[in-house]
């Protein structure tokens, strides 16, 4: 149980820091980060909306309760990350630009998997 919790918090911590940092910069509409989204053809007003949505998703994942809301948060973050990856691929960016998105998706998947393992062990303990 302890090992699963450690892995869960490692994966979740990496997700929270990496997505949280980028989301704060999106909410503040930092020009260098907004340029990435507008270069892909999306409007600039979408940048703070996505930043706030990601921050809310991260907050829900970090909260200890609300399992149904966590499922929605994991799904929303997955849609966001897969959409970002698809956009960079469709735009024709080189593979080196995809690596960050792929790693983030893998860390989010790891967090989700260990979250469910943690839940299963908690149910067995009761």
Domain boundaries, the chain: 2-125
Instruction: State both tokens at 57.
Output: 């998703």
Task: State the pTM of this model.
Answer: 0.93
What would the two tokens of residue 113 be? Answer: 């998997």
**What is the reported pLDDT for 125?**
78
**What's the pLDDT at 56?**
98
Q: Which residues, 6+ apart, have CB-to-CB distance to 100 below 8 Å?
A: none
pLDDT tens, per residue, the chain with 126 residues: 799 999 999 999 999 999 999 999 999 999 998 998 999 889 999 999 999 999 999 999 999 989 999 999 999 999 999 999 999 999 999 999 899 999 999 999 999 999 999 999 988 877
Q: What is the pLDDT of residue 1?
A: 79
Place of tokens 């302890």: 2
User: Taking the alpha carbons of 13, 19, 25, 27 in that order, is the dihedral positive or negative?
Assistant: negative
**pLDDT confidence of residue 117:** 96
| Farthest-apart Cα atoms in the chain, separation | 52
* C-alpha closest to that of 12 among 97, 86, 118: 118
């Amino acid at each position: 149980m302890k090992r699963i919790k450690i892995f869960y918090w490692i994966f979740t911590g990496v997700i929270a820091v990496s997505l949280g940092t980028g989301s704060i910069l999106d909410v503040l509409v930092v020009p260098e980060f907004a340029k990435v989204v507008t270069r892909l053809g999306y409007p600039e007003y979408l940048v703070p909306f996505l930043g706030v949505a990601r921050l809310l998703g991260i907050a829900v994942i970090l909260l200890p309760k609300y399992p149904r809301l966590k499922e929605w948060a994991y799904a929303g973050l997955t849609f966001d990350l897969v959409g970002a990856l698809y956009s960079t691929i469709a735009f024709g960016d080189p593979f080196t630009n995809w690596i960050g998105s792929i790693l983030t998706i893998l860390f989010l998947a790891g967090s989700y998997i260990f979250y469910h393992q943690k839940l299963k062990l908690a149910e067995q303990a009761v």
